[in-house]
Amino acid sequence: SDHDLDYPIHPNLMDWHQHYPTFFPSPPAKEDTPSLEVLNRPLDPSAPRVEWADIGCGYGGLLTSLAPHYPKTLMVGMEIRIKVQEYVRERILALRRREPGSYENVSVMRMNAQKFLPNFFHPGQLTKMFFLFPDPHFKKRKHKARIITATGLDEYAHFLALGGLLYTITDVRDLHDWMVQHLDAHPLFQRLPRDEEEADPVTPHVRNSTEEGIKVERNRGEKFLAVYRRIPYPT
Ligand code: SAM
């Protein structure tokens, strides 16, 4: 259940300081009743903000692999399982201790990403969203629980900036077909051609850095990748 999750009622009230103390030197001012002025404040393009979200990040392999390559980009993992989230948190803190000044741009939170994205992000805030080896929910009556659905995509499109990228990868052919079918049908997403997918420096991390991806590799399983760009409303 979600009632023990910790989330702000509005993205402007989020305490990013606890996640990225280097980028947010102080916590937000605590107000009993948030003022309209604070709630209406638009995203400041010159202020630091989370840009990449790894949805269902599992044990954190993607983010810990990307973080040192993109030290100025803030990235967050969202993971619903308490123990797994705690593991990733410890993993990041240990990396920060071992390499002072590094890994300051990566963090993780325990969150149900299917419910609470609007509490954390402004429309168009994210430039990348990752859905790597999501739970397949094999049974037909469970398909609506999948993380990529028509309504899920409406929301992801809302939080992705124009030109932003949504990455999916899975070893389950049927799930890949499902994700591609829904993304192809969505007016705000366009699939990247294969050569652009391969030219993207993030693609190798998507394929090979997550714990699930490594497991598939070990079992010589096939991996099905699809990357989509957030495009404008068709006119
Ligand atoms: N992406 C990781 C990887 O490639 O190794 C983990 C893949 S694992 C099969 C799927 C993960 O998504 C699990 O850790 C699960 O707890 C998490 N998850 C499922 N539904 C979620 C949700 N609504 N919000 C956040 N995490 C979720």
Strand 106-110, strand 224-230: pairing: unpaired
| pLDDT average, residue stretch 187-199 | 98
Q: Which structural domains are found in the chain, ordered by start?
A: 51-230 (3.40.50.150)
Q: Quote the pLDDT of residue 33.
A: 86
Classify residue 163 as left (phi > 0), alpha (psi -120 to 50) or beta.
left
Other C-beta atoms lying within 10 Å of the C-beta of residue 89: 18
Specify the 3-state DSSP secondary structure of 210.
Answer: coil
Ligand 1 neighbourhood includes 112 CB (under 6 angstroms) = yes
Ligand 1 neighbourhood includes 200 CB (under 6 angstroms) = no
Beta carbons of 191 and 226 less than 8 angstroms apart = yes
| pLDDT average, residue stretch 140-159 | 94
pTM over 0.90: yes
Is residue 153's pLDDT more than 70?
yes
Structure confidence by residue, pLDDT tens digits, 62-121: 999 999 999 999 999 999 999 999 999 999 999 999 999 999 999 999 999 999 999 999
Structure letter (DSSP) for residue 227 = E
Q: Is 15 annotated as catalytic? A: no
Specify the 3-state DSSP secondary structure of 102.
Answer: coil
Q: Say how far apart CA 68 and CA 182 lie, in whole Å.
A: 33
Ligand-binding site membership of 188 (annotated):
no
Mutate which of 80, 144, 147, 219 to test ligand 1's pocket (most atoms within 8 Å of Cβ)?
Answer: 80
| pLDDT average, residue stretch 191-218 | 97
For the chain, what is the mean pLDDT?
A: 95
Ligand 1 neighbourhood includes 167 CB (under 6 angstroms) = no
Structure confidence by residue, pLDDT tens digits, 14-31: 999 999 999 998 988 877
From 1-5, 167-171, 221-225, 226-230, the region with the lowest mean pLDDT: 1-5
Q: Quote the pLDDT of residue 1.
A: 63
| Residue 205, CA distances (Å) to 52, 97, 112 in order | 14, 23, 24
Q: Quote the pLDDT of residue 228.
A: 98
User: Tell me, what amino acid is at 142?
Assistant: K
pLDDT > 90: percent of the chain = 86
Q: Quote the pLDDT of residue 234.
A: 81
Q: Per DSSP, what are the bridge partners of residue 128? A: 52, 165
